[in-house]
Amino acid sequence: MSSELKPRPTRDGFGEELVQLGYENPKIIVLSADLEDSTRAEYFKHKFPERFFNVGIAEQNMVGIAAGIAREGFTVFAASFAVFLTNRAYDFIRISVCYNDANVKLCGSHVGVTVGEDGATAQCLEDVSIMAVLPNMRIVCPVDYIEARKATRAIAQEYGPFYMRLSRAPYPIITSPDDEFKIGKASVLENGEDLTIISYGITVSESLKAAEELRKEGISARVINMSTLKPFDREAVIKAAEETGAILVVEEHQKINGLGSMIAMFLATSYNRFVPMEVIGINDEFGQTGKPYELLEFYGLDYKNIFRVAKELLKRKK
Amino acid sequence: MIEQKLSVKELKRLATEIRKKILLMTHKANSGHPGGSMSLVEILLALYFYKLRYDPKNPKWELRDRVVISKGHATPAVYAVLAKAGFFSEEELEGFRQFGSKLQGHVYFEVPGVEFNTGSLGQGLSAGIGMALASRYKGIDFNVYVILGDGEIQEGSIWESVMFASHHRIDNLCAILDYNKVQENGFVNEILKIEPLKDRWESFGWNYIEIDGHDFDQLFEALDAFTSNKGSGKPTIIVANTVKGKGVSFMEYNHAFHGRAPNKEELEKALKELDGGDNV
């Protein structure tokens, strides 16, 4: 843990690594729907203007063009706000990208209520569930700036459609450059035996804080950063169930069809014992205007609520 | 590559043959879209037997021209023409819309000669633009043809693509509009008017050509006009006036045959009409 480092938005890691990739690989093309300043895709634009297009405010066309270029052997990144990218262009993602198995990397920034003041329309809370149901699609959500750089590189190097979930809000730095990042592999940030907290994105650092508070009360919580949401690390989940006997999923995302749902279904259908489980997420409602941490707290995604729910969950553990 | 160009007389005979196949394929599958396939026959034949650069034995040949069938339901015509062009055997057409066959209901890229999967209208033009841009990046001069339905341009996404193509001066792109006047529930211009086409496309910065889409000579001329327009910076739209269900009296302009196959009786009647038609 290198907590003394200044928190940074994961979009920064994306933007910076993309430039590096641009130098290394002439077959990388980047498209933006007029939000490259916000997504940080503009770093690439400044270095490689001939391989960059701002398509205008036209997400469907952006995704379709991305698929067309990709089918010709290129690696295409298409970036916008997560809300517009995944929702507005959904049918294009489904057919032009996924059904065509096009090598397109969809990068959506501004996820979760921690977008803050822009309010409900800009706060993407359903992207994981709607991307997860698409065949061929894989989903990653880097936990900090450092992991965002690695994730950007990893998805560029792996063929096929990807969706990467990125933040506007600064995320605390909790990984180090030497940590391994592998698509499909979770990382255990804190070991524990009494329960496991599984999370992704900004709520991972809140989960770590909650684990710290729990430890003060003699409870040892394992904390897992599930940075690949599809396919998520099934082995890590089974191990958590086996070794800690209780699972709490925390996500800055709708609870319906989020990671909690996917893990619950997996355990119910693939694991022979009952594991008490709880999910903290958004309860089927839109976000609202506010300061990022104010909203995190209001929606129960902060460490204090994670701490409280974890203790409740333990009461259900036999 | 096309070894030898066919005469118009031979192409007309082929057109009739393809129309019969469309009827037989959809009848056997008891589903499919015969109307908008019958309208497309001459357009496809003009492409595959006159204009396109391709090698059916090497469908992924880097120098080939790309064809995106944005009206992805026109599979009966597309598959029949691809088989005729030598991409796969004509026996395989028997599998159309059958379980286990590559010949999916809507265009599918595992079928040799099919470039891009579509089936949700309004997407193929974007993909075609992507391919046309890729030609720039690769430094390989190929052309991209996108087949649009007339009802399809009611989709707003088409106009995002139309704006983009002219703004970025993509002149190796040719959209061909199969203007058969009829969509699933009736006449296009009664449901949602797409006219005035010339004014609209020209005002969006496209090179506009309008022809009779069943007349081979006009098709050849229009396709050649597209390639000689390269260098102008303008993408080309060929509006091909066609007849939905072309060649069979009771299917022509009949929206019932947009998405319904002919039954046994209708099939026999239709085949008889085609045999006696002036295309022979």
Distance between CA atoms of A305 and A46, rounded to whole angstroms? 43
Q: Which of B130, B156, B163 is closest, CB to CB, to A68?
A: B130
Q: What percent of chain A lies above the pLDDT cut of 90? A: 98
Distance to chain B for A106, nearest Cα, Å: 16
User: Exactly one of A16, A42, A59, A252 is catalytic; which is it?
Assistant: A59
Residue A2: its pLDDT value, please? 47
For residues A14-21, average pLDDT: 98
For residues B226-230, average pLDDT: 97
Residue A211: its pLDDT value, please? 98
pLDDT at B52 over 70: yes
- The residue among A312 and B4 whose pLDDT is bigger is A312
- Quick check: A74 and B134 CB within 8 A? yes
Are the C-beta atoms of A292 and A165 separated by less than 8 Å? no
For residues B217-231, average pLDDT: 98
pLDDT at B101 over 60: yes
Q: Give me the DSSP letters along A209-239.
A: HHHHHHHHTT--EEEEE--EEET--HHHHHH
List the single best residue of B114, B116, B162 to mutate versus A (max A Cβ within 10 A): B116
Q: Is the peptide bond before A231 cis (omega within 30 degrees of 0)?
A: yes
Residue A318: its pLDDT value, please? 75
Q: What percent of chain B lies above the pLDDT cut of 70? A: 97
- Quick check: B129 and A92 CB within 8 A? no
Residue B41: name the closest of B144, B225, B176 by CA: B176
Residue B280: its pLDDT value, please? 42
**Total CB pairs under 8 A between chain A and B:** 99
Q: Which of A29, A66, A100 is closest, CB to CB, to B116?
A: A100
DSSP-derived pairing of the beta strands A221-225 and A187-190:
antiparallel
Q: Give the number of other Cβ atoms within 10 Å of residue A96's Cβ.
A: 30
Q: Does A63 touch chain B (CB under 8 A)?
A: yes
List the single best residue of A28, A63, A71, A90 to mutate versus B (max B Cβ within 10 A): A71
Report the amino acid identity of residue A275: V
Q: Which CATH superfamily is domain B8-275 in?
A: Thiamin diphosphate (ThDP)-binding fold, Pyr/PP domains (3.40.50.970)
For residues A224-253, average pLDDT: 98
Q: Is the peptide bond before B196 cis (omega within 30 degrees of 0)?
A: yes
DSSP single-letter state for residue A6:
P
pLDDT at A269 over 90: yes
pLDDT at B139 over 70: yes
Query: What are the residue ranges spanned by the domains of chain B?
Result: 8-275
- Quick check: A91 and B109 CB within 8 A? no
Main-chain phi, psi angles of A28, to 5 degrees: -95, 125
Q: Which of A68, A74, A76 is closest, CB to CB, to B129?
A: A68
Longest CA span, chain A: 61
DSSP single-letter state for residue B51:
I
pLDDT per residue over A20-64, tens digit each?
999 999 999 999 999 999 999 999 999 999 999 999 999 999 999
Distance between CA atoms of A123 and B201, rounded to whole angstroms? 37
Residue B277: its pLDDT value, please? 64
- Quick check: A60 and B157 CB within 8 A? yes
Main-chain phi, psi angles of A189, to 5 degrees: -90, -25
Structure ipTM: 0.96
Q: Is A241 helix (H, G, I), strand (E, B) or coil?
A: helix
User: Whole-prediction pTM value?
Assistant: 0.97
Q: Does A48 touch chain B (CB under 8 A)?
A: no
pLDDT at B168 over 70: yes
DSSP-derived pairing of the beta strands B144-149 and A28-32:
unpaired
- Quick check: A56 and B163 CB within 8 A? yes
Residue B5: its pLDDT value, please? 79
Mean pLDDT in chain B?
A: 96
Q: Give the number of other Cβ atoms within 10 Å of residue B21's Cβ.
A: 22
Residue of A nearest to B161 (CA): A61
Torsion of CA A160, B121, B206, B185, to 10 degrees: 180
pLDDT per residue over A85-126, tens digit each?
999 999 999 999 999 999 999 999 999 999 999 999 999 999
Q: Which of B127, B132, B138 is closest, CB to CB, to A96?
A: B127
Mean pLDDT in chain A?
A: 97
Distance between CA atoms of A55 and A57, rounded to whole angstroms? 7
Q: What is the CA radius of gyration of chain B?
A: 17
A59 is an active site residue: yes
- The length of chain A, given as a count of residues: 318
Residue B276: its pLDDT value, please? 85
- Confidence label for B3 from pLDDT (cuts 50, 70 and 90): low
Are the C-beta atoms of A77 and A133 separated by less than 8 Å? no
Domains, chain A, ordered by start? 10-165 (3.40.50.970), 187-317 (3.40.50.920)
Residue A213: its pLDDT value, please? 98
Distance to chain B for A74, nearest Cα, Å: 8
With beta carbons under 8 A apart, name residues in chain A contacting B172. Answer: none
pLDDT at B4 over 70: no
- Quick check: B131 and A71 CB within 8 A? yes
With beta carbons under 8 A apart, name residues in chain A contacting B137. Answer: 29, 51, 69, 72, 74
